[in-house]
Amino acid sequence: MRIDVVSIFPEYLEALNLSLIGKARNDGLLTLEVHNLRDFTTDRHRTVDDTPYGGGAGMVMKPEPWAQALETVRENKRPVLIVPSPAGTVFTQAMASTLAQEDHLVFACGRYEGIDERVLDWAEGSFDVLPLSLGDYVLNGGEVAVLAIVEAVARLLPGVVGNPESLVEESHSDGLLEYPVYTKPSSWRNLNIPEVLLSGNHARIARHRRDEQLRRTALRRPDLLEKLDPAGLDAADRAV
Ligand code: SAM
C-alpha cells in the first residue's frame, strides 16, 4: 500500500516512523510519504489560508496549493482521498478493513476552519473523496486523525501485526467489544483473575469470554448491540 499525507505540519506525522508502522515501512510493506502543503504555494510568504467568503471567524485553506499538492501525489490511478473533518462520516473498524484493500490512500490535513469546499468537488474528478471524522468533537487539525486512521488501516495489512489471530478477536471485529484480558500474576494486590481462566477448559473459557463481551458491550456501548441482527447474535452465541 502507498500512503501520501499532505499537511502544513509534516513533523506531526513523525510518529509514523515508530513501532509497528515504522517497521512495516522499513520492511517495505507500506510506502508512506509526508508532503508539506507550503511547498505547493507560489508566493514568498508561502500562504495557505485566507479570509472566509461571507464573513465569520477564522481562516480557510486556499484551494490552489491543495490542487497542486494533490495533482503531484496522484500519479495515474484513482486513489482514495481521505479528508479528516468533524463534519465527515465517523470512521469505524469496518471502514479500516475496506481501506486496507486499497492500493493508494491520500490524506489532506485541514487546519483553521478547514479546506475550501471546492477542493473536494474538484478532487471528485480523479479521487474517491471520503470525508472522515474521528468522532463528535473538534480537533485543531487533521494530523491526529491521520495518525489514528493510518494506524487502524496499516495494522490490517498482511505482515504488519506479527500474529494475525490477534486481529480476529479484537473489539469491533465482530461488532462487540473485546472481553477483559489478564496476565501474570494471577493474584495482584488482592485482585484475582476469574478462576475459569486457570481451568484449562477451553470451552468454558470461550463461554466466559463471550459472556464478558456481551456484558461489557451492553454496559458501555448498547448502541453497538442494537446494530447487530438478533438472529445472527443468537447463532454466534450457540456456536461458542
Ligand atoms: N470549522 C470546522 C467545522 O466546524 O467542521 C472545524 C475545523 S477544525 C478546527 C480544523 C481541522 O481539524 C479540520 O479541517 C479537520 O482536518 C480536523 N478535525 C477537527 N476535528 C476533527 C474530527 N473530529 N475528526 C477528524 N478531523 C478533525
Atom of ligand 1 nearest to the CA of 136: 23
> C-alpha grid cell for residue 111?
487546519
**Residue 58 Cα to ligand 1 middle (Å):** 13
CB-based contact 124:77 (threshold 8 Å):
no
For the complex shown, is ipTM > 0.90?
Answer: yes
pTM value?
A: 0.94
Q: In angstroms, what is the span from residue 235 Cα to ligand 1's centroid?
A: 41
Q: What is the pLDDT of residues 97-155, one digit of tens each?
A: 999 999 999 999 999 999 999 999 999 999 999 999 999 999 999 999 999 999 999 99
**Residue 216, amino acid:** R
- Give pLDDT, residue 123: 98
| Pocket of ligand 1 contains residue 144 by CB under 6 Å | no
pLDDT above 90 coverage of the chain, percent:
89
What's the N-to-C CA distance of the chain in angstroms? Answer: 36
In short, whether 140's Cβ falls inside 6 Å of ligand 1 is yes
Which cell numbers hold the place of 183?
496476565
Residue 57, ligand 1, Cβ within 6 A = no
Q: Does the C-beta of 56 come closer than 6 Å to ligand 1?
A: no
Cα–Cα nearest to 102, from 68, 84, 123, 127: 127
Report which protein residue has its CA nearest ligand 1's atom 21: 86
Distance from C-alpha of 202 to C-alpha of 204, rounded to nearest angstrom: 5
Q: Are strands 187-188 and 191-192 parallel, antiparallel or unpaired?
A: antiparallel
Q: Is the CB of 82 under 6 A from ligand 1?
A: no
Give the integer Cα–Cα distance in Å for 151 and 145: 10
Which domains does the chain possess?
A: 2-154 (3.40.1280.10), 169-239 (1.10.1270.20)
Instruction: Give residue 235's identity as a one-letter amino acid code.
Output: A
| Strand segments (E) across the chain | 2-7, 31-36, 49-50, 60-61, 80-90, 104-108, 128-133, 187-188, 191-192
Q: What CA–CA distances, in Å, run from 167 to 14, 152, 178?
A: 25, 11, 11
Residue 170, pLDDT above cutoff 90? no
